[in-house]
Amino acid sequence: MTWQATALTLFPDMFPGTLGQSLAGRALERGIWSLDARDMREYGLGRHRVVDDTPFGGGAGMVMRPDVVAAAIAGIDLAGRPLVYPTPRGRPLKQADIRRYAAGPGVVVLCGRYEGVDERVLEASGAEQVSIGDYILSGGEVAATVLLDACVRLLPGVMGSGESAVEESFADGLLEYPLYTKPAQWDGRDVPEVLLSGHHAAIARWRRAASETVTQARRPDLWAAYQAGAGQDIPRVA
């Protein structure tokens, strides 16, 4: 069964973009997933296909009209898929969300432009509002691309045995340990000795300790959750 992604967007040419390359692009070609970028402009009003208007209450910028967005949503078959609206006002998108989306039939991503979408259509549609970080993008398309990339790599058959989702950052609530490859000596810097030892248990201990050290230093939030025992089913951060 093909995992189905739909993007509702005013810029359909932004898709597949990077999703047409590398791992996700090969999976797209192989039919593991599909991507339908729907132009919401088609639902715009009048000869000029207007999709936005000024905010009630005043203020800068434009807001996407609820009638136009609702018509665009009505124009697709959700087929049991969640409707996701990327916005800096959303709750933080986590690897647990990605796993949930990837395990289902697919997702529909509503890509906002301008200042955003009228709140009423978000309420009425039951859209899940998610943020990919505390910064402002110029629109939802890049956030949608991030979300879809993260989902697609988890679909069965996408990652080969060479690419593991088990040991990566967040898999156990910790950031991933540092990685090294050949040459063993480079620019006066050595690879940690234990990694050359072939002693699997010692390597596992070293990696666990390194994961803990980097998580404590860089992500006190993840570290606190991990120590509280909440880190059982969370992913590590690269």
List the interface residues with ligand ADE, window 72-131 (CB under 6 A). Answer: 86-88, 131
Minimum gap (Å) between residue 71 Cβ and ligand ADE: 22
154 close to 98: Cβ distance less than 8 angstroms:
yes
Query: Which bin fits 16, alpha (ψ -120 to 50), beta or left (φ > 0)?
Result: alpha
Q: Which is nearer to ligand ADE, 131 or 213 (CB)?
A: 131
Core vs surface per residue 51-87: b (16+ CB within 10 A) or e: bbeeeeeeeeeebbbbebbbbbbeeeebeebbbbbbb
Binding segment for ligand ADE among 9-17, 118-126, 137-145, 164-172 (CB under 6 A)? 137-145
| Residue nearest ligand ADE, CB atom distance | 86
Nearer to ligand ADE, 174 or 237 (CB): 237
CA 185 to chain centre: 36
Q: Answer yes or no: are the C-beta atoms of 194 and 206 closer than 8 Å.
A: yes
First to last CA, the chain: 31
User: Taking Cα atoms as reference points, which of 45, 43, 19 lies closest to residue 153?
Assistant: 19
CB-CB neighbours of 131 under 10 Å:
17
The residue from 132, 174, 234, 237 that contacts ligand ADE (CB under 6 A) is 132
- Tell me: does residue 1 bind ligand ADE (CB under 6 A): no
Binding residues among 138-197 for ligand ADE as defined by CB under 6 A: 140, 143
- Please select the residue that binds ligand ADE; options are 20, 133, 178, 220, rule is CB under 6 A: 133
Alpha helices per DSSP H over the chain: 22-29, 66-74, 95-103, 119-125, 140-152, 200-218, 220-227
Among 57, 126, 135, 179, binds ligand ADE (CB under 6 A): 135
Between 56 and 135, whose beta carbon lies closer to ligand ADE? 135
Question: Shortest distance, CB of residue 109 to ligand ADE, whole angstroms?
Answer: 10
- Which C-beta is closer to ligand ADE: that of 7 or that of 143? 143
- Write out the two tokens for 59: 């203020």
**Shortest separation between residue 41's beta carbon and ligand ADE, angstroms:** 19
> Which residues sit at the interface with ligand ADE, rule CB under 6 A?
86-88, 131-133, 135-137, 140, 143
